[in-house]
Structure 1
């Protein structure tokens, strides 16, 4: 595991990480930690987090990665939210590491027990504390409201099953694979996919932090180039950002030819952004086929479905009228006017099955749109909430994903979140279609557009489009930008936005892991208030 890029890289073997973890575990047990204890971790350095998480598991506990404050965070509000999380998960202890050591005063002020990671150094734990398969390994905070937190209870059985399913589906090879990631470790894709899995399987890992990526997005392809990275992953917005930055780099600056798997997941996959990424990477030898579309969620530990390896982006083009009015995905030619494009996310991972049902629970057929639900060994038994535990599975073990979609040739296709669907004139309009149209307008920041469903006070719904742009504040430019956005949206979905709101960069509400919050964006639309 290599950490410390781009300043002072340090490589530690997984055996060295494990040796450190046994000493941290020994110190935890000597300090009174008991089997089944809930332990929270607040640290930013992956080199400290890896042995800390492993130590908690060796000592028989579960880990919760706390959301990390940023330079713009209101610390009083953060403390209130964090205390709510700690009470919810019944945490006995917080493990504190750089760069958050200074927050010890906040924890002291509220009487929260903590230990500093750099001071935990005991006699190595002789043997792991035995735990049952159904005991929690991870209490994964969801990316919903921090004021009303929820944690997914991921058991050791869940974690092992999903890791094994992803190992098979991605053909992971400890002998040749090199994983490169900047993803946050408080998010399931970072914690499970790019720490736990390589640590479990012994795969070479190059790990930096989100601030490292945001400060210089080209650090990502640079690390893939220098370390011969074969596997990486990110949400759609990051591929859009790095594509734009790579276009400004000289030929020969990177060698991306070893990349065999660039997983795109965690948010709706935009074929336009994917093409921009593969076009930009082609100059540096990156094979377009390395893009792997995936569907996943914390409730299944991480992965639900992976597209077939080295098949690249495969898109299903469907008739918009049939989709919106008939809830059927009828295939059409790509050049059909207003055809909807949905990426194929592949079949369910080994150990999981996916089903599509209607509102009454009746199973729908091939290409019939309905509620996606999933069942299998990787599916969480339930949430922890501020009001107590909450089951996730029905009597037959099915989890409602909250997404709409369909199945085609055994592959999973996601249309969108049910709660975000805009219903107008009996049509189901998916916000991603509106957002993609807005993002195609020059001047709109990549990945920063939200379609907002507005409550009109009548049965007829309305929607607005909220975007970020450097043009915000320039009246004439904003007027022209708004007009062009409206025109593109009308072209795409045949409906005009009630309003277009242009905000300065950094204004759109996002989760701690960087996803846009559609539900919180309505307050940014003046007429919606």
Structure 2
């Protein structure tokens, strides 16, 4: 039996702390965790009426974080697992989304699909959804007699987390209740969390950092959670700072790009507009971390009481339930400035005073997780040697669920998971991620990091920050080269586009010493990305214009 979730579901939750949630940050709804539990019991009865029982999979399509919190608890009360479906946006082709969603639901063999607002209304005119599962709205789950809790074990599936890979073929990470428990312990330890914390988030709940880090973790610990939606952040990025100020937020998290966006809003804000002094944990993860973005955010936030040591670069993934490594909440993060030529030619890290290549250290592996670096033959590498990152531990998934194959092993015979990431461990045990193995660009025997090239491209005025893709591109003479695809709101202005083209080419050459074969400018929002916002580099290759 799970010693955490089962015990938690049977306990009496807080009647004081709770969840502030909603799409409008100015009008969030507050319910204590006791009230959330009461609602969850009612929904669990509705799920039982719909035929959901132990071991079943339930898909959730709901935009209100409050509905999601209720459903997570209700589904676990039934001994079932949940999957957050990727959500359509106003720009989504609904037919394409439906086709992909049907494939996911078929892969899950879902017993039920629960739909909440705004999607009940949004899909009302679509016609027959033709989903191969019972479809029920959140409203329809109310009004049934309460049912007892279903026993759950540590090995039972708690979450089937959709991954954000570069292909359209669905895949889910199996996260057990035992995985959830170990990750919870590791995160509490790494963050030095307490019952007085206030977590503030706008992250999508179909992504592991938003769901597990800023919804489930506070929920299990009975601490205050303030959860709005990605749309709220996109409409008004400074609402994030407003919520931290209003609720005295102590912990928050986001990908690197979001801190760049917020920094620009902080720069324009008058003195005293916000109070960020309460923040003690600011997690930065889910995408490559840019030193310049961190410096800008901390510089602009300092006027509002932001402490630099609160910024915690981290490394995590769905396959480890969430956490892999965290920096310390009591010190400022560390930057490695390394010899570009040495690392590209030998894979060995040599630190120098100045370089075009820097990496942010991501702290030490969390409690209960082992990490090692191996070469292509599987031999373990010493400190400061770049290789493939492997992880092992009680929070690490053992299986993937794939569309055609069903459940397949995610780890080797000794329990090691190949993350697909490249990186190294410093002599004092800190983890540094240098990129994805499949994305490395090899030119004239040099291993070039696409992240370094993309940062150079994004330094050009007119290129949207965080919206450039660097990919390998074969030149007319047959040799390997570099192509850059970048978003710009000036893409249709020929004079400006020509300037940006030339400046991107120059910036990349100055950074890596290799000429760019092709620079392609596209409009805002046209760069292919996963539902969680990661760039699909291989899909971006199809947009390259060699002219």
Query: Which interval holds the TM-score relative to the shorter structure?
Result: over 0.9
Is 1:398 aligned to residue 416 of structure 2? Answer: yes
**Rounded Cα–Cα distance in structure 2 between residues aligned with 1:55 and 1:90:** 19
Alpha-carbon contact 2:470-2:485 (below 8 Å) kept: yes
Is 1:315 aligned to residue 335 of structure 2? Answer: yes
In structure 1, runs of 5+ residues without a counterpart are none
Question: In structure 1, what is the equivalent of residue 544 of structure 2?
Answer: 525
Is 1:471 aligned to residue 485 of structure 2? Answer: no
Question: In structure 2, what is the equivalent of residue 178 of structure 1?
Answer: 198
Question: In structure 2, what is the equivalent of residue 162 of structure 1?
Answer: 183
Is 1:52 aligned to residue 71 of structure 2? Answer: yes
Alpha-carbon contact 1:17-1:50 (below 8 Å) kept: yes
Evaluate the alpha carbon distance shift between residue 457 and residue 151 of structure 1 in structure 2; reply closer, same or farther with a 3 A threshold. farther
Alpha-carbon contact 1:81-1:146 (below 8 Å) kept: no
Question: In structure 2, what is the equivalent of residue 412 of structure 1?
Answer: 431
Q: SS of the counterpart of 2:268?
A: coil
Q: List aligned pairs for 1:235-384, cutoff 5 A.
A: 235-333=255-353, 336-338=354-356, 340-384=357-401
Q: SS of the counterpart of 1:179?
A: strand
**Rounded Cα–Cα distance in structure 2 between residues aligned with 1:241 and 1:358:** 37
**Rounded Cα–Cα distance in structure 2 between residues aligned with 1:459 and 1:135:** 52
**Rounded Cα–Cα distance in structure 1 between residues aligned with 2:50 and 2:109:** 18
What are the Cα deviations for residues 305-326 of structure 1, in whole angstroms up to 9, with x where unaligned? 0011132331111111110001
Alpha-carbon contact 1:345-1:411 (below 8 Å) kept: yes
Question: In structure 1, what is the equivalent of residue 82 of structure 2?
Answer: 63
Evaluate the alpha carbon distance shift between residue 202 and residue 399 of structure 1 in structure 2; reply closer, same or farther with a 3 A threshold. same
Question: In structure 2, what is the equivalent of residue 232 of structure 1?
Answer: 252
**Rounded Cα–Cα distance in structure 1 between residues aligned with 2:411 and 2:193:** 30
Q: SS of the counterpart of 1:12?
A: strand
Q: SS of the counterpart of 1:526?
A: coil
**What's the TM-score, normalizing by structure 2?**
0.93
Q: SS of the counterpart of 2:419?
A: strand
Is 1:202 aligned to residue 222 of structure 2? Answer: yes
**Rounded Cα–Cα distance in structure 2 between residues aligned with 1:245 and 1:487:** 29
Pick aligned residue for 1:144 from 165, 179, 202: 165
Q: SS of the counterpart of 2:304?
A: coil
**Rounded Cα–Cα distance in structure 1 between residues aligned with 2:375 and 2:127:** 48
Alpha-carbon contact 1:107-1:113 (below 8 Å) kept: no
**Rounded Cα–Cα distance in structure 2 between residues aligned with 1:104 and 1:301:** 34
What are the Cα deviations for residues 101-139 of structure 1, in whole angstroms up to 9, with x where unaligned? 032565844154111112212456454211221111000
Question: In structure 1, what is the equivalent of residue 508 of structure 2?
Answer: 489
Alpha-carbon contact 1:468-1:504 (below 8 Å) kept: yes
What are the Cα deviations for residues 126-183 of structure 1, in whole angstroms up to 9, with x where unaligned? 5421122111100000112573110111111111111110111001111x21100000
**What's the TM-score, normalizing by structure 1?**
0.96
What are the Cα deviations for residues 17-72 of structure 1, in whole angstroms up to 9, with x where unaligned? 11111111122123322211100000000011101111000111000000001111
Question: In structure 2, what is the equivalent of residue 439 of structure 1?
Answer: 458
**Rounded Cα–Cα distance in structure 1 between residues aligned with 2:355 and 2:436:** 24
Is 1:133 aligned to residue 154 of structure 2? Answer: yes
Evaluate the alpha carbon distance shift between residue 491 and residue 172 of structure 1 in structure 2; reply closer, same or farther with a 3 A threshold. same
Q: SS of the counterpart of 1:266?
A: coil
**Rounded Cα–Cα distance in structure 2 between residues aligned with 1:337 and 1:385:** 42
Alpha-carbon contact 1:22-1:124 (below 8 Å) kept: no
**Rounded Cα–Cα distance in structure 1 between residues aligned with 2:260 and 2:170:** 30
Pick aligned residue for 1:454 from 451, 473, 494: 473
Question: In structure 1, what is the equivalent of residue 28 of structure 2?
Answer: 9
In structure 2, runs of 5+ residues without a counterpart are 1-18
Alpha-carbon contact 1:261-1:310 (below 8 Å) kept: no
**Rounded Cα–Cα distance in structure 2 between residues aligned with 1:55 and 1:403:** 35
Q: SS of the counterpart of 2:217?
A: helix
Evaluate the alpha carbon distance shift between residue 51 and residue 355 of structure 1 in structure 2; reply closer, same or farther with a 3 A threshold. same
Q: Give 1:8 deviation, angstroms.
A: 2.1
Alpha-carbon contact 1:292-1:310 (below 8 Å) kept: no
RMSD in angstroms over aligned alpha carbons?
A: 1.6
Evaluate the alpha carbon distance shift between residue 60 and residue 125 of structure 1 in structure 2; reply closer, same or farther with a 3 A threshold. farther
Alpha-carbon contact 1:41-1:94 (below 8 Å) kept: yes
**Rounded Cα–Cα distance in structure 1 between residues aligned with 2:431 and 2:168:** 33
